[in-house]
Structure 1
Amino acid sequence: MRWGTDVSRRGVLLGGTAALVAACSGRAAPVGAPAPLSPPAGSPALTQPVTIQRRHSAARGRDVDLVLMAPEGVPASGLPVCLALHGRGANARTFLDLGVPQMLTDLVHAGARPFAVAAVDGDHYWVGNGTGDDPQRLLTDEVPGWLQASDLRPVTGVLGISMGGFGALDLARRRRDLTAVATCSAALFRTWSEAKARGVFAAEAQWQAAEPLEHLDELPPGTLGVWCGASDPFLAANRRLIDRAGPVTSSITPGAHTDSYWRGVLPDALRFVGERL
C-alpha cells in the first residue's frame, strides 16, 4: 500500500492491553504489543523492548509520544541512541509498525553491538514554522533530557524516513558531533516551486534556510548513508544529495515511497547507524 509522496503509516494504542494496529490499513502491526505507557517522569530502568512515554513538549505546545526501542533481551540502560524521525502525517509509533524492535534484535543476534532507537512525534519537516510549534527545538532542547531520565546515553546518530530524512539532515547541520546520519526516501526539494507546493514553508527564504540540499557543506563529514527507491517521487532530489554530499554509502534499488520498501532497507540503514554509534 502506498503512503503518498511523503506520508508514513501510523499506529495507535488501543485499550488496556495496548494492542498496536496500523491505523492506515486496519491490519495488525507485525510487532508485539508495546509496553504500557510509563509515568510522565520516565523510568530509569527500561525493561521492555518497547516503552512508550507520553511527554509534554513546551517546544511544540502539546503532548507527544516518545517511543523507546531496544533489542529484546538486552538491558536498555546505558545504551547509545539513534534518533528516528518519521514522515509527514505519521507519528513516532510508525517505527513499531515498520518492525524496528525486531530489526534491532536481529542485528544483535547477528553480532552487532546493541543500541536503542528513540522516536518522537514531529511535524513541519522537523523545523519551526513560526506558529509556536517547533519540532526542531523539541529535538535539541527537550529530547536529550527525556533520554537522560530513562538512563539512556545521548543521541549520537539519526535516521529519517521521507520528511524525517529532511529533518535528519537539518539536525546534522546543527549537531556536527553526530557520528551517523541515515536517510530513507528523504523528502527534499530542488527548487522553491517544489517546496512551495507542500504548503509547509511560508516563504522562499524560510525554505532556503532549512532545505538540506542548500547546506550540504554543513553536514558532518563521513557520517551519511542514503537509501532511495528507483520509483520514488523524490529520486531526483536524492540523486542530487548523493552526487553533492558524497555519502559513505548510498543505495538506489527497486521500490517506491512505501512501507514495503522501507521495511526492506531499514535493516541496512540501522546496521549502518549501529556501526558508527
Structure 2
Amino acid sequence: MPGADSDGGDLSRGVLRGAEWWISRPDGASGRLPVVVALHGAYAGAEQWRRKLDLDDAHRASGARFALAAIDGGVHDYWHPRAVGRDPRSLVLDRFLPLLAREGLDVARPAFLGWSMGGYGALMLATEIDHAGPVVATSPALWSRFEDSAPGAYDGPTDFARWGILGNHARIDRLARDRVRVDCGASDPFVPGVTELRRELPSAKVRFSPGAHNAGYWKRVLPAQLAWLDARV
C-alpha cells in the first residue's frame, strides 16, 4: 500500500506484483495530473534510481505540473518480455498505468523518461501504445546489431529484431513525430547508437554535450528535460 515518505514532500509508495513503485506529485497539486513514467537503468530499481538522481527533489524544484512515477522493471530485463517469464513491458502498460489512474492521475497520454537501459525502454514503450505522450531518453542503450548488445539484454537475434529500436522501421515510424528528446554525453559509450538514431529519426531532438555515462551528467541535464516535458505533457 502507498504511504507518506519519511523525507517529506508529496511522495507515495507501494508494491505491485512484487515490484516497488513511487509517485512524486508537485507541491500543492490537485486534480488529475498528467504523468511521466520514469524508467530506471540496469542493476538498480526504481527507489535506488530515485535516490541516485534525487528525482523527486528535482521534480519538485522544477515546478513541473505533472506527476513523476516509477516502478521496478528488473535489474537487467531491458523493459521487454523475457524468455524466463518476466515481462516488465506488460507490468508498465497493463498494470502500472491502471494503478496510476486509480491513484488519481491522468494516463490518457503518458509520457516517458528513462536513463541507459531505461532510455531504451522509454523509446520502446512509447511505440507500444497509440496514445503515448512525449519521450525523453537519456544515454539510451541502443545497438545496431544483436552481436554488439550487452550480454543478456536480449534473448537472441530474434528477440533483438522484435524489441530493438535501431533498424526497426516499424518502431522508428511510430516515433517519427515531434515528441522525442535524446540527451547523451559526448564521452558516453552509446554515442554511436544515439548518432544512428539521429540518422534514422531526424525528427528527434538529439543533444550531445560534455559528459559521460554517469549520474553527474544525468543530474546536470535533468532540469532542462523536466522543463521540456512540462511544456508538452
Q: TM-score under structure 2 normalisation?
A: 0.89
Cα 1:74/1:247, change in 2 over 3 Å = farther
CA RMSD of aligned residues (A): 1.9
Largest Rg, 1 or 2: 1
Q: Does 1:163 align with 2:114?
A: no
Cα distance per residue 1:186-234 (max 9 Å; x no partner): 0011112112x42232220111111111331222511100100001011
1:55 aligns with 2:16: yes
| 2:43 aligned residue (89, 96, 102) | 89
* Partner AA of 1:117 in structure 2: L
Letter in 2 for 1:74: G
Which segments of structure 1 move beyond 4 Å, counting only runs of 4 or more? Answer: none
1:254 maps to 2:210: yes
For 2:25, which of 56, 67, 70 is the aligned residue? 70
Deviates more, 1:218-227 or 1:84-93: 218-227
How far does the alpha carbon of each residue in 1:24-76 deviate from its partner, in whole angstroms, 9 at most, with x for none?
xxxxxxxxxx716xxxxxxxxxx9421111222xxxxxx011110122x2225
Q: How does 1:182-201 map to 2 (within 5 A)?
A: 182-195=136-149, 197-201=150-154
Q: CA deviation at 1:86?
A: 0.5
How many Å separate the matches in 2 of 1:183 and 1:176? 18
Matched with 1:266 is 222
More displaced, 150-159 or 239-248? 239-248
Secondary structure of the structure 2 residue equivalent to 1:213: coil
State the one-letter code of the partner of 1:118: A
The residue matched to 1:158 in structure 2 has which SS?
strand
Shift of residue 120 of structure 1?
Answer: 0.5
Partner of 1:21: none
Q: Residue 255 of structure 1: CA displacement? A: 0.6
Question: How far apart are 1:151 and its partner, in Å?
Answer: 0.9
Where does residue 58 of structure 2 map in the other structure? 103
Tell whether the 8 Å contact from 1:70 to 1:76 is kept in structure 2 after alignment. no
Q: 1:120 aligns with which of 36, 57, 71?
A: 71
Instruction: Report the residue type matching 2:166 in the other structure.
Output: L
Letter in 1 for 2:5: A
**Which secondary structure state, in structure 1, belongs to the residue aligned with residue 78 of structure 2?**
helix
Q: Which amino acid aligns with 1:151?
A: G
Q: Which of residues 126, 136, 155 is equivalent to 1:172?
A: 126
**Residues 176, 201 of structure 2: 8 Å contact kept:** no
Number of positions where the alignment pairs a residue of Structure 1 with one of Structure 2: 223
Identity of aligned residues (%): 30
